[in-house]
Amino acid sequence: MAGKSKFLRYFKEYRWSDIAAMIRNNRAEPEICHNDFTGRLVVITGATSGIGYVTARKYASRGADLLCINRNREKSETLRQEIEKEYGVQCGYRIADLAIMADIYRVAGDLAAMERPVDVLIHNAGVYMTRRELTPDGFEKVFVVQYLASFIINYLLMDKLKSQPRCRIILVNSEGHRFAAWGLHPDDLNWEKRRYTGLGSYGSAKLAQLLSMLIFDEQFKGTGVTVNAMHPGAVKTETGQDNGPVYKWFKRNFIDKTLKSPEMSAEALFWLGASGKVEGVSGKFFNLTAMENPAPPALDMEVARELWQISLEYSGLKQ
């Protein structure tokens, strides 16, 4: 009965005006911010390609120092040398596979132990799978990389961030959260009971991230920390490279040809991190730089609190 009642409730909460706004915003260009960011520290996950790479360069061009969390050491070193030579800022990195719990904990511990404040924390790393794949810890891979990693890092950084004058957390989310149109399945986050689909797992993970944002927003109330999510636009990225040759061929020859440059995503991520227009704004979903209502399941506080407890259990954290 609970599932049926949720379906009926969500169905009644959908608004054509919200869908129209999404379509309109998908065609819009992001607002541009020209603020200087010299001396600030920006932490970005997945910065060696796609949106993360262009965003790292964008912040560096405005004077920000960077700390990038990546899987590949060689690419990270190349990025460090490139940015420090071109922009004269500091560009450090940590190596971590955000599909592995030990790596997530290690990098979160490193960030929490830093004396320097984190001014902007951008959760950008992501993955898209066409077939269900488990991590070494036994969890569905998309769920961990797209959601649980950012949850753990944010949770373990709460005390540090609350002690700072300010910090902006930005979740690179997606309009794809709407693929989970009738809500999350807290009893099957690992996709053991349902037929696995790429769009389904991706939408569920992005929905979970939005639900966790509601609780983190509560946790940070009264502090200088804000947390927001954004859809980065239909842009070309390296997401999906873990899938087979058929998918990669289709993506390269069909999907990628319809996509835009990730420069627009970088502009939006800089605006969200640096613009005075979003000072103090928290717990919101943006399509690039346009504030937007997410799908009704993303606003369900009851499920958000249930997911929070499950996430603590999955990750081994305690209240």
Q: Is pLDDT above 80 for 255?
A: no
pLDDT digits (tens, 9 = 90+) for 29-44: 999 999 999 999 999 9
Residue 44, beta-bridge partner list: 68, 122
Residue 75 structure tokens? 């690419």
Mean pLDDT (whole number) for 207-223:
98
- CA distances from residue 20 to 23, 120, 173, 217, 234 in whole angstroms, order as listed: 5, 31, 19, 27, 17
- Which of 69-78, 202-211, 243-252 has the least mean pLDDT? 243-252
pLDDT at 213 over 90: yes
Residues constituting the chain = 319
Give the residue carrying structure tokens 């991190």: 273
How confident is the model over 128-182, as pLDDT tens digits?
999 999 999 999 999 999 999 999 999 999 999 999 999 999 999 999 999 999 9
Tell me which residues are annotated as active site: 202
pLDDT digits (tens, 9 = 90+) for 230-239: 999 866 455 5
The pLDDT score that the predictor gives to residue 261 is 76
Q: Does the pLDDT of residue 240 top 50, yes or no? A: no
Backbone φ, ψ for residue 309 (5° rounding): -65, -40
Which tokens is 59 given? 């912040």
| pLDDT > 90 in the chain, percent | 87
Residue 156's pLDDT is 98
Report all structural domains of the chain as residue ranges with CATH numbers, in order of start.
38-315 (3.40.50.720)
Give the DSSP letter of residue 30. P
Composition of the chain by helix, strand, coil, percent to 5? 50, 15, 35
The per-residue pLDDT for 251 is 35
Q: Take residue 128 and report the two structure tokens written for it.
A: 């898209």
Average the pLDDT over 220-244 and give the result: 76
